[in-house]
């Protein structure tokens, strides 16, 4: 899924972006949660979409199942999450408190 950023988003990509765009401030979802909510794709495919088009949405609200934002933008994500009042424990989001179920 290496569509360059700026390339037209595929239908699947738009679906992913729609979900991410709905995650409330201070809440997060894991890559797997997004795929599960859509009933399509997998954590990997969601990550690929974020890599290509994440800049269009609140990308910092999508984290790994461990609660840790992915490595390349770890510091930036933590800064943004802290700024929006997301509960953190060190470099991990407190998923028990901040996980959004899509409702």
Partner DNA sequence: AGTATGACGGTTA
Partner DNA sequence: CTAACCGCCATAC
- Using CB under 7 A as the binding rule, whether residue 7 contacts DNA is answered as yes
Residue ranges in 22-81 that form contacts with DNA under rule CB under 7 A: 30-32, 40-48, 50-51, 54-55, 59-60, 62, 64-66, 69-70, 72-73, 77
Q: For 1-103, where are the alpha helices, taking DSSP H only?
A: 11-22, 31-38, 43-53, 74-83, 95-98
- Using CB under 7 A as the binding rule, whether residue 12 contacts DNA is answered as yes
- Number of shown-chain residues binding DNA (CB under 7 A): 35
Instruction: Establish how many alpha carbons lie within 13 A of residue 70's alpha carbon, considering only the half-sphere containing its beta carbon.
Output: 16
Task: Name the DSSP class of 21.
Answer: H
Which tokens in the block code for residue 4? Answer: 């360059």
Name the site residues for DNA (rule: CB under 7 A). Answer: 1-3, 7, 10-13, 30-32, 40-48, 50-51, 54-55, 59-60, 62, 64-66, 69-70, 72-73, 77
């Amino acid at each position: 899924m290496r569509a360059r950023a700026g390339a037209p988003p595929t239908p699947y990509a738009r679906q992913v972006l729609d979900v991410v765009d709905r995650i409330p401030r201070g809440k997060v979802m894991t890559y797997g949660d997004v795929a599960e909510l859509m009933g399509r794709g997998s954590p990997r495919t969601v990550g690929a979409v974020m890599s290509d088009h994440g800049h269009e949405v609140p990308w910092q609200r999508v984290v790994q199942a461990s609660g840790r934002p992915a490595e390349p933008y770890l510091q930036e994500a933590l800064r943004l999450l802290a700024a929006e009042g997301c509960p953190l424990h060190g470099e991990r989001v407190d998923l028990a408190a901040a996980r959004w179920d899509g409702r």
